[in-house]
A and B are shown apart, each in its own frame.
Chain A
């Protein structure tokens, strides 16, 4: 996993609640057996005017000019501002892959769906939960100010607006540590292999039918 470094970036507002992972990356792209190549198909059905399929040259497809990601003022955005329950539905990890590969490093929303949340942190995509009122205000500020940027400091757990005002966010300490250091979670877990083996032996004794 890549380390999450302190970052400051252009913000794009996606003003829709309950954005599901089918919308983040449609099913036809889940047929790939690779981990990469999903960026061009992020929000595919909203972003393009035609229907996309794997193997197409997506750079030649007609863009939907009304979709916020396609507006010139938001080009190069690295922070996605979203509404509540972002990432609900399917467990597809292709959703955080697509967001990261498009160029996003952080998503700010009042709430996220559980599976999407853990999938994102495991890939170095920082999800920031802020109070709905603050998110509402950020939407107004982004929409009203071209070139609006936010600074995200994971170490300090703050998001800082251009005027200097900071908002604190919560994050699980283990997830924070892993993100800051780009740790291999499997490697960390395997450090406890002896504990797992000991548990497994006991478990086998008490519920042997699980091991037949």
Chain B
């Protein structure tokens, strides 16, 4: 038998129909739904007189528009009527069409869709999983095929349980060796994107492998896979190992008893076979990866904490040069400025990239006994879900953050994209644990620097970026 990659195995086990031209109907096991990309899909379903194919595959929550304060005011706490209508529309669609589980706004278990999927065991190894959200790649950390889709595809999956798909090429990203102290999954993925570029993964599915990846916790692997899309790859994944199985065990929607044993013996096969072929292999040396900070308006525009803002004049390609110049103008940065001289005035710890319990623990470890610098106008911590929040409070992390001058908020997507009222203002400079530093992403005219949670807290305390390993 030919050796198969993990991607081959996941793909081959979900082919519901194959057309002559090579396109297939790929069967979808899990469909995550949130309020922003689903209303038009449900409306389309209704207009065509269609019903969802398998309601049990749907797990839904409201996360993008939900406020991180004023929960005591209920739905009225969503000040913007347009946002409120979108949240109410999801409530209505869930009532009309149903779901396996729905965590509405204000529910104790509500949270960012990419945090609650794994947390609930709604994400399992071996699955195909989709969501109308590009960061669906997150779930690949559990050894499944997970990718973001548009609203037309949301409707297609609801109606047919399938997607019209074509197999992508495969890329293996190998991170060899052990990561240095203070270097996190966020630094690894930013370093990978810095190396392959923002379109380096376009047309590929990435499998992350190597000793450093095996060494990451499940949360770290989620951070890694989360940003696959920032390298252009729709899906990223990590093979199943003991950590995967240990993580899934006992979660509410995970199999139990004899079914569990049967599932585990199948999940153990979800690794790339020795000798399996990838279309492209990229290798990084873990020991060489340093804490990363982005300086531009795309995640590819990244350097190390001891680095400098690059000089566009050194760039030979005129299109690239123009892009860099535009980015520096937007970011209000001069070429050759040391990264440690950049002074963020807002701090955001959260988003589907870095809002899990381990992220909050890493952030709190740096915040403990320290205080946010006076030059910082706002520092917020937004847990990824209600359950992450509860756990953090049990561990006393909330008290560490508030004592250090951070605001402790309710869960949601929040300042990652500012669809709720956590919006940055023009000229704000933000040290952010989110995934995108695009122009206007966190608010019109706002300037984003992507970093790990520990690096964000270190910057908050120092008032400028600083190497967390030296704090």
Query: Which A residues have a C-beta under 8 Å from some C-beta of B?
Result: 15-18, 20, 22-23, 26-28, 30-35, 45, 51, 54-55, 83-85, 88-93, 96, 111, 113-115, 118-119, 122-123, 172-174, 185-186, 189-190, 192-193, 195-196, 199-200, 203, 207-212
Q: Residue A85 contacts which of B134, B232, B419 (CB distance < 8 angstroms)?
A: B232
Query: Does residue B276 face the partner (Cβ distance < 8 Å to A)?
Result: no
Q: CB-CB < 8 A to B29: which residues of A?
A: 210
Interface residues of B in 241-267 (CB under 8 A from A): 254-255, 259-260, 262-263, 266
Complexed CA–CA distance, A50 and B148 (Å): 32
Q: CB-CB < 8 A to A172: which residues of B?
A: 21, 23, 166
Q: CB-CB < 8 A to B13: which residues of A?
A: 203
Query: Which B residues have a C-beta under 8 Å from some C-beta of A?
Result: 13-17, 19, 21, 23, 25, 27, 29, 36-37, 39-40, 43, 48, 50, 53-54, 56, 64-65, 80, 82-83, 85-86, 89, 124, 126-127, 132-134, 148-153, 155-156, 159-162, 164, 166, 168, 198-199, 202-203, 229-230, 232-234, 254-255, 259-260, 262-263, 266, 298, 300, 319-320, 322-323, 326, 417-419, 436, 438-441, 444
Q: Determine whether the beta carbon of B85 is less than 8 Å from that of A27.
A: no
Q: Determine whether the beta carbon of A196 is less than 8 Å from that of B162.
A: yes
Q: CB-CB < 8 A to B48: which residues of A?
A: 186
Q: A207-B263, A212-B259 are in contact. Are A93 and B199 (CB under 8 A)?
A: no
Q: Determine whether the beta carbon of A209 is less than 8 Å from that of B262.
A: yes
Q: A31-B82, A45-B440 are in contact. Are A185 and B418 (CB under 8 A)?
A: no
Q: Determine whether the beta carbon of A22 is less than 8 Å from that of B134.
A: no
Q: CB-CB < 8 A to A89: which residues of B?
A: 134, 229-230, 436, 438
B14 to chain A, nearest CB (A): 8
Additional 4 contacts, C-beta under 8 A, given A114-B233, A174-B21, A196-B160: A17-B320, A45-B439, A189-B162, A209-B254
B228 to chain A, nearest CB (A): 11
B46 to chain A, nearest CB (A): 12
Complexed CA–CA distance, A20 and B263 (Å): 40
Complexed CA–CA distance, A146 and B160 (Å): 48
Q: A17-B320, A90-B134, A174-B21 are in contact. Are A27 and B202 (CB under 8 A)?
A: no
B142 to chain A, nearest CB (A): 13
Q: CB-CB < 8 A to B64: which residues of A?
A: 30
Complexed CA–CA distance, A212 and B251 (Å): 14
Among residues of A, the one whose C-beta sits closest to the C-beta of B200 is: A85
Complexed CA–CA distance, A34 and B44 (Å): 10
Complexed CA–CA distance, A93 and B418 (Å): 18
Q: Determine whether the beta carbon of B417 is less than 8 Å from that of A27.
A: yes
B320 to chain A, nearest CB (A): 7
Q: A18-B298, A209-B255 are in contact. Are A88 and B198 (CB under 8 A)?
A: yes
Return the 3 tightest CB-CB contacts between A and B, nearest first. Answer: A209-B255, A119-B150, A33-B39
Q: Determine whether the beta carbon of A91 is less than 8 Å from that of B132.
A: yes
Complexed CA–CA distance, A9 and B36 (Å): 33
Q: Determine whether the beta carbon of A209 is less than 8 Å from that of B124.
A: yes
Q: CB-CB < 8 A to A32: which residues of B?
A: 82, 86
Complexed CA–CA distance, A211 and B259 (Å): 11
Complexed CA–CA distance, A83 and B320 (Å): 10
Complexed CA–CA distance, A189 and B23 (Å): 11
Q: CB-CB < 8 A to B152: which residues of A?
A: 93, 119, 122-123, 185
Q: Determine whether the beta carbon of A88 is less than 8 Å from that of B160.
A: no
Complexed CA–CA distance, A185 and B230 (Å): 28
Complexed CA–CA distance, A193 and B53 (Å): 10
Q: A118-B150, A185-B152, A193-B160 are in contact. Are A30 and B89 (CB under 8 A)?
A: no
